[in-house]
Amino acid sequence: MNDRRAPRTFASRPGGADKWVRAPDPRHASNGATAEFSARLTIDVTPDLRGRIKIAAFQHGVTVAHMLRDLLSREFPPSEGDTP
């Protein structure tokens, strides 16, 4: 009745930030292929800003995700030596 399992542990901290950031994401699509957009980014914004973002995306005829990926790509272009 008393099922004792080993306690869960937290993942260890990465040895180097650069190595950790560039490490591939382990998540995969259901068919085993790596998903094109496999990293998720969560930010907190005000309800007013969220509304403005949604309206802008609608006016441009794109999804919020597509518009924000495009904006972030323009703001943070690949650096010299980065892999695409």
Domain that holds residue 65: 50-76
Q: In the structure, what pLDDT confidence band is assigned to residue 68 with cuts at 50, 70 and 90?
A: very high
62 domain-assigned: yes
pLDDT at 1 over 60: no
Q: In the block, which residue shows the tokens 């794109």?
A: 62
55 domain-assigned: yes
The phi-psi region of residue 46 (left if phi > 0; otherwise alpha if psi is between -120 and 50; otherwise beta) is beta
Average pLDDT over residues 46-67: 95
Average pLDDT over residues 32-55: 84
72 domain-assigned: yes
pLDDT at 50 over 70: yes
Number of domains in the chain: 1
H helices of the chain, in order, are 17-22, 47-60, 64-75
Q: Distance between CA atoms of 43 and 77, rounded to whole angstroms? A: 20
Nearest to 38 by CA among 63, 69, 17, 16: 69
For the stretch 16-31, pLDDT in tens is 767 766 666 555 555 5
Mean residue pLDDT of the chain comes to: 78
2 domain-assigned: no
